[in-house]
Structure 1
Amino acid sequence: MTREHPLRRLAGFARPHRASAVAATVYSVLNKFFDVLPELLIGVAVDVVVNQQDSFLAGLGVPDPLHQLYLLVALSILVWGLESLFEYLLAVRWRGLAQELQHALRQAAYGHLQRLPPAVIERERSGRLMALMNEDVNQIERFLNTGANDLIQVVVSSLLVGAVFFALTASLAALAMLPIPLILIGAFWFQKRLAPRYAAAREAAATVSARLNNNLAGMATIQAYTAEDFEAEHLRQASDGFRARNADAIRFSAAITPVIRMAILAGFVATLLYGGMLTLRGDLGVGSYSALVYLTQRLLWPLTRLADMVDLYQRAMASVNRVMDLLDTPVPVRGTDPVPANARGELVFEGVGFDYGGRVAVRDINLHVPAGSTVALVGGTGAGKSTLLKLLLRFLDPKQGRLLLDQADVAAIAPAALRRTVGYVAQEPFLTDGTVADNIAYGERQPDRERVEAAARAAEAHAFIAAMPRGYDSEVGERGGNLSGGQRQRIALARALYRDPKVLVLDEATSAVDNETEAAIQRSLARAAQGRTTLVVAHRLSTVRHADVIHVMDAGRIVESGSHDELLARNGAYAALWRLQTGEVIEL
């Protein structure tokens, strides 16, 4: 199916701003109208000086040449004043519209991104998404700031000046305007070949952004492995690719202006020579000839900016397509029901299966998590433990079977309502660049300080928070960089407890902490689990040995279930994992 033209896609998005766009266009047209008039006034002035009582103005009822000059001065002041007024108004309108659309596009792109499942976002490079929401949106803004007005004024100028030419002498008009079709054909020929080059340049820019983003996040590892030169070479290659794509586009865009100049020269020479011959023969007035010479330049010279206009236009249209493609990414149809009233937190997985593009992650999972119980999922890497959590949080939707929360099908529940019922602690917790209190009460504009402190105490985080320079008002730094791994994890746990969820989900929450911190978190979990359903994914079996039920997963299936002691007594997969981690010999 043919994709809609990017300008139409942008116009569709900008429909709420149509009044501003119409006003800006009207101001551009009026500005160009009054911008063209001074050339006509020059012709009238020459006519007054040469013909005096027989001039054009004399025929309008102003016989005195001096009075004609006074009238010309008054008209010039009026024309220049109005031209300046509309110049100001169009600048304010176009730039205001550019800012409004820039803001709206960025907000819409980010808002849409947040509605997409994490799996869709994970398939995209973070650098590409960053480039899309920054550079691409800014490119569209630059076009609206100047390019849109330039394009409108070139069209209006051609129509106005063409009308004057044909009114004065049709034959000269045909000669003067002969280069315009050639110029436009050439511009469109260049435009067609520039479009794919600028699209390739935008993709190359996204590659550079992705590489920079990746390296900044992993700078400690780069330095630890003395891989600075290695990564610098990677960045050089990505930057060279961007430079090569841009150079390819520049070679084409740079050729436009010289070609247009030659076409303009032909039109100007035609007016100068043929118009002069008509004037010498008396078929054209001196004033009209003067006006036409000026107007030829006014008609054709702006076309030299077609190179910049086409360049800016093509860059903007490539960016429009990228932003609109993101906005057109379909959001999966989700449920709209609320969480069942007086939810207790009972979870049931019925024949649940899921695969990643044909690679089976979990299959035929039947699992019952009673309300208020603590259930653990253990197993090797790739066993399917984290996939079950993603299915519960509806980051993914099962391809077979269903999940129930208090007998209600999770697929029918609105994702936001479901997630407000679940407290989630990830293996690598995300902390926003704000205060400790902001992170514990994450998502609330006015945190309840008593609840914040209570949640921190429950997560055994209060002591180290109180020891920080500004306590709960201390900045955690970008991604929690001012905190240790254990401190970040306990703040993440406090965040989950702040919401007082019915279901608490922990995904490898203690895998990256020391034994002392793990013990503190385990004590916190023992208290936090009281009165709520807790689902724990862990590699370290010491974390889950006190769970009510432990399910051992392998290759997407549950292969063993029972308490810690029961599973050790079976001497199966769990017992093997326990021996591997502890070195303990199990006596049968």
Structure 2
Amino acid sequence: DQARPYPPGDIGTRLTLNAADAGGAPAARAALAASLITPLGALVALAFVDVWVALCVLTGLPALALLLRSFARDTGATVAAYQRTQSLIASRLLEALEGAETIGAAGTAGRERARVLAPLAELGAQGRHMWALHGRALGRSGVLVPLLTLAATAVGGLRLAAGELSVGDLLAVGRYAQLTAGVGAAASLLGAIVRAREARRRTQELERMPATAYGTRRLPPDGPGELRLCGVRVLRGGREVLRVDGVRVPGGSTVAVVGRSGAGKSVLAAVAGRLIDPDEGHVLLDGVRLDRLTHEALRTEVAYAFERPVLGEGTVAEAIATGARRPSRERVRQAARAAGADGFVRRLPHGYDTPLPRAPLSGGEHQRLGLARAFAHAGRLLVLDDATSSLDTATEHEVDLALRRSVRPGTRLVVAHRPSVADRADLVLWLEDGQVRAVGTHRELWHTAGYREVFGAGAEADADAGADAGPGPGPGVGGSVPGAVRRPEPEEARP
């Protein structure tokens, strides 16, 4: 959650291009040190030949040092701006690739191309400015260094005239002065070090993010999976996006979280399983605060399924088995059957051993594999964050029935957009503007006009179909769930 201010493309650039540039810093420093050995050795040798000539050269070195320092400062600012613009282009490109189908259907490819490449002119200007700074530094050092050599030779000539140096000494002074002039070539290597330094700074911004801290507690054995949210507040950019207090979800029940877009449903789902920590308050599972659990205890008892699951590039079986603990092959197949994925998986060329890059999967099939992975690792709490959005209503109902029959009993938190899903739940948590508007059963809340409006057009027909089919499975449908917090706000349905 702490990485939220950084777009995915920016993070990708920091972890690839910037990390590679930062990794080149040791080699650049070593090369710079090696390049300075000869000039410094020549300066020492010059002092042995004649101290006054060496002092003459030393008086010019501060000017050269100021030149290089100015180059490093100006180059650092330009490199930082260049890398920021590079990340902006990468972020926009990634957004466009993720929405390629929408862009193609809308016929906005040209507009999107212009949006992605809009910062390219600025990137080019910054690149040209970097080369201009580099050329300016080389040009100035190219003037200053010969002047130092000339001054050293002139002082050597005066010392020769005074009888303090021999002709051979004067010849040596000229050669050593030329070798000392090699300091000016450090500008190129210094530029590489500056680029590495700025790249390192960008990667360190991610490295300095504190890792999620875990406790030492474990859950009590054979707990039902009771979930409680006490004084929970989540802030984004100083704005409150979620406030939930005093909500208790009985263990073993299914809770549907509903609300309009932006109501805080996904934030609540993330808080419930500690994908993010609330800014205030605590979440408890079977009486133990989530932030006090060990990593193993938390991740073996809380499973997630998302709208767009990331399955990796292994086999189908490996994608389903990925988790804190590796399930058996039979458990993987059982989870796939519960998610309605077993049929199409068996039709793949190598079944469960088919590599995912070679498996042509539809959006719904992709989503069902994500569900299967969650089912294979289901513990006391299973969170489905819009994880059935690509399934049709009938398939979604079949998955729900299989989930109740085949998957380990536990508490289920389901982000719902269809009234049929809410109707099958034991309890509905209705969010509005990040706060709990009401808690009750779907049928109780349906009498509130605002609740019906959450589901949009066609919701009443869907709900009527669910009512005709009779009460859905589960202990609380059509009635209250014992011990649940209830805050209904009745509003008579309009005719």
Alignment TM-score > 0.5, same fold: yes
In structure 2, the residue matched to 1:125 is 7
- CA drift of 1:334 comes to 5.0
- Separation (CA, whole Å) in 1 of partners of 2:413 and 2:91: 35
Q: Is 1:417 aligned to 2:310, yes or no?
A: no
Counterpart code for 1:209 = A
In structure 2, the residue matched to 1:184 is 65
- CA drift of 1:583 comes to 4.0
List per-residue Cα deviations over 1:187-214 (Å, max 9, x = no partner).
1122223222222122112112212222
- Separation (CA, whole Å) in 1 of partners of 2:285 and 2:432: 25
- Residue 571 to residue 294, structure 1, CA distance change in 2 (3 Å): closer
**1:161-560 mapped onto 2 (5 Å cutoff):** 161-272=42-153, 274-275=155-156, 283-300=164-181, 302-331=182-211, 334-414=214-294, 417-443=297-323, 448-477=328-357, 482-528=360-406, 531-560=409-438
Contact 1:195/1:314 (8 A) holds in 2: yes
- Separation (CA, whole Å) in 2 of partners of 1:354 and 1:336: 24
- Separation (CA, whole Å) in 2 of partners of 1:534 and 1:571: 25
In structure 1, the residue matched to 2:26 is 144
In structure 1, the residue matched to 2:487 is none
In structure 2, the residue matched to 1:112 is none
- Separation (CA, whole Å) in 2 of partners of 1:578 and 1:235: 35
Q: Among the aligned pairs, what percent are the same residue?
A: 29
Contact 1:352/1:401 (8 A) holds in 2: yes
**1:79-98 mapped onto 2 (5 Å cutoff):** none
- Residue 580 to residue 219, structure 1, CA distance change in 2 (3 Å): closer
In structure 2, the residue matched to 1:21 is none
- CA drift of 1:421 comes to 0.9
- Separation (CA, whole Å) in 2 of partners of 1:273 and 1:379: 85
Contact 1:127/1:213 (8 A) holds in 2: yes
List per-residue Cα deviations over 1:231-288 (Å, max 9, x = no partner).
2222332111111122223222210111111122123334445546766886544554
TM-score by length of 1: 0.72
In structure 2, the residue matched to 1:30 is none
- CA drift of 1:451 comes to 2.4
- Separation (CA, whole Å) in 2 of partners of 1:577 and 1:258: 68
List per-residue Cα deviations over 1:482-531 (Å, max 9, x = no partner).
31111111111110121131211111222222334323323333324662
Structure 1 segments unaligned to the other structure (5+ residues): 1-117
- Separation (CA, whole Å) in 1 of partners of 2:204 and 2:451: 50
Matching residue within 575, 578, 581 for 2:458: 581
Structure 2 segments unaligned to the other structure (5+ residues): 468-492
- Residue 431 to residue 566, structure 1, CA distance change in 2 (3 Å): same
- Separation (CA, whole Å) in 2 of partners of 1:550 and 1:445: 31
SS in 1 for 2:183: helix
- CA drift of 1:548 comes to 2.0
- CA drift of 1:464 comes to 0.4
Counterpart code for 2:20 = N
Count of aligned pairs: 465
- Residue 414 to residue 274, structure 1, CA distance change in 2 (3 Å): same
SS in 1 for 2:262: coil
- CA drift of 1:467 comes to 0.4
SS in 1 for 2:118: helix
- Separation (CA, whole Å) in 2 of partners of 1:579 and 1:273: 91
SS in 2 for 1:524: helix
TM-score by length of 2: 0.84
- Separation (CA, whole Å) in 2 of partners of 1:545 and 1:423: 23
- CA drift of 1:466 comes to 0.8
Counterpart code for 2:433 = A
- Separation (CA, whole Å) in 2 of partners of 1:528 and 1:378: 25
Contact 1:560/1:574 (8 A) holds in 2: no
- Separation (CA, whole Å) in 1 of partners of 2:149 and 2:437: 87
Counterpart code for 1:449 = R
Counterpart code for 1:484 = S
Matching residue within 13, 16, 21 for 1:134: 16
Counterpart code for 1:325 = E
- Separation (CA, whole Å) in 1 of partners of 2:12 and 2:448: 51
- Separation (CA, whole Å) in 1 of partners of 2:334 and 2:291: 33
SS in 1 for 2:309: coil
- CA drift of 1:573 comes to 4.5
More moved, 329-338 vs 369-378: 329-338
Counterpart code for 1:179 = G
In structure 1, the residue matched to 2:476 is none
SS in 2 for 1:122: coil
- Residue 265 to residue 353, structure 1, CA distance change in 2 (3 Å): closer
Contact 2:216/2:293 (8 A) holds in 1: yes
- Residue 408 to residue 277, structure 1, CA distance change in 2 (3 Å): closer
- Separation (CA, whole Å) in 1 of partners of 2:43 and 2:345: 75
- CA drift of 1:439 comes to 1.0
Contact 1:504/1:535 (8 A) holds in 2: yes
List per-residue Cα deviations over 1:318-373 (Å, max 9, x = no partner).
12222223222344655442333333311122343434345443334332222222
What's the RMSD between the two structures over aligned residues? 3.0
List per-residue Cα deviations over 1:26-47 (Å, max 9, x = no partner).
xxxxxxxxxxxxxxxxxxxxxx
Contact 2:243/2:436 (8 A) holds in 1: no
In structure 1, the residue matched to 2:488 is none
- Separation (CA, whole Å) in 2 of partners of 1:530 and 1:499: 9
- CA drift of 1:564 comes to 4.0
- Separation (CA, whole Å) in 1 of partners of 2:438 and 2:388: 23
- Separation (CA, whole Å) in 2 of partners of 1:572 and 1:222: 36
- Residue 444 to residue 344, structure 1, CA distance change in 2 (3 Å): closer
SS in 1 for 2:97: helix
- CA drift of 1:468 comes to 0.7
Structure number with the higher helix fraction is 1
List per-residue Cα deviations over 1:417-436 (Å, max 9, x = no partner).
32321111112222212221
